[in-house]
Amino acid sequence: MPSPHPHARGEIPERHWPKPEGEVGPPQAASLDELRAQAEVCRRCPLWRDATRTVFGEGPRDAGAVFVGEQPGDQEDLAGKPFVGPAGRVFDQILETAGIERDKVYVTNAVKHFKFEPRGKRRIHSKPNAGEIQACRWWMGQELDLIGPDIVVALGATAAQSLLGKAVPVTKMRGRTFEREDGVRVFVTIHPSFILRIRDSADKEAERERFLDDMKAVKKLMA
Ligand code: SF4
């Protein structure tokens, strides 16, 4: 059983941010640490209730690339860190092979609380809906403002939808870079968990190679 949410344990003061439509919330943070502290008490959508904690992004403020996944998984929720589960390990290996140093990039998720359905003792991943993705854009937008990376990498459909503001067919669009109206460049690719779900070993290896090619392209886009 996951431990109770920090709010429930009385470790974090109760605060209520207004609904996302109001676009009024805590003041603009001056640092990633300040932003992380604000996000720890976020209630912009209902996902905070069942998750253990907010899993905020990690990495240096001067990162050349920001990688955005979908949401924390079971292990990330417990550890409080993004990309530490099985998909995170695949991601780390491929990043290293592509020559991208993990501690020089920033990794985060489009949605910062773990959404799941309980099944016996297990917590099964559940895809965030459009409202939850929209609510959590509040945080990612500020992460990007503070970091100002050369390139933002959307890992999978949820990240692409959050970053580009519309549903994107990732398998068709992968490997392409989109420039948003605010000048942010977004490179679209799959989420590394997609590789883990492929059963056939030859297909899995082929997909690893495609993802490696994408990461090599991202390295070139980093100044
Ligand atoms: S998922 Fe995002 S918007 Fe929803 S409560 Fe968590 S931090 Fe806030």
DSSP string, the chain: -PPPPTTTTT-S----PPPGGGT--SPPPSSHHHHHHHHTT--SSGGGGTSSS----BS-TT-SEEEEES---HHHHHHT-TT-SHHHHHHHHHHHHTT--GGGSEEEESS-S--EEEETTEEEE----HHHHHHHHHHHHHHHHHH--SEEEEESHHHHHHHHSS---HHHHTT-EEE-TTS-EEEEE--THHHHH--SHHHHHHHHHHHHHHHHHHHHH--
62 occurs within a structural domain = yes
Q: State pTM to two decimals.
A: 0.89
The domain total for the chain is 1
The alpha carbon of 201 and the centre of ligand 1 are apart by a number of angstroms equal to 36
Question: Is the CB of 115 within 6 Å of ligand 1?
Answer: no
What length does the chain have?
A: 223
Q: Find out whether the beta carbon of 195 lies less than 6 Å from any atom of ligand 1.
A: no
Residue 207 lies in a domain: yes
β-partners of residue 129 are: none
Atom of ligand 1 nearest to the CA of 17: 8
* Residue 133 in contact with ligand 1 by CB distance below 6 A: no
pLDDT of residue 18: 41
Instruction: Supply the pLDDT for residue 223.
Output: 77
CA 217: distance to chain centroid?
Answer: 20
Tokens describing residue 37: 């502290």
Q: How many CB atoms lie within 10 A of CB 115?
A: 21
Q: Is 216 domain-assigned?
A: yes
Which range marks the domain in which residue 149 is found?
A: 30-221
In a domain, 12, yes or no: no
What spacing in Å lies between the alpha carbon of 111 and ligand 1's midpoint?
Answer: 6
Q: What is the pLDDT along the chain (223 residues), one digit of tens a residue?
A: 444 444 444 444 433 344 445 555 667 899 999 999 999 999 999 999 999 999 999 999 999 999 999 999 999 999 999 999 999 999 999 999 999 999 999 999 999 999 999 999 999 999 999 999 999 999 999 999 999 999 999 999 999 999 999 999 999 999 999 999 999 999 999 999 999 999 999 999 999 999 999 999 999 999 7
Which atom number of ligand 1 is nearest to the Cα of residue 45? 4
Residue 152 belongs to some domain of the structure: yes
Q: Pull the structure tokens for residue 222.
A: 């980093």
Ligand 1 touching residue 65 (CB < 6 A): no
State the distance between the two ends of the chain, measured CA to CA, in whole angstroms.
44
Is any atom of ligand 1 closer than 6 Å to the C-beta of 159?
no
Q: Are the C-beta atoms of 101 and 206 separated by less than 8 Å?
A: no
Q: Using most ligand atoms within 8 A of CB, pick from 112, 137, 158, 162 the residue to mutate for ligand 1.
A: 112
Q: Which residue has the tokens 């860190």?
A: 81
Position 10 in a domain = no
The token duo for 176 is 């392409």
Atom of ligand 1 nearest to the CA of 39: 7
State the CATH number of the domain containing residue 156: 3.40.470.10
Task: Give how far the C-alpha of residue 132 lies from the chain's centroid of Cα atoms, to the nearest Å.
Answer: 13
Q: Is 8 within a domain?
A: no
State how far the Cα of 88 lies from the Cα of 70, in Å rounded to an integer. 12
Q: Are 134 and 91 in contact (CB under 8 A)?
A: no
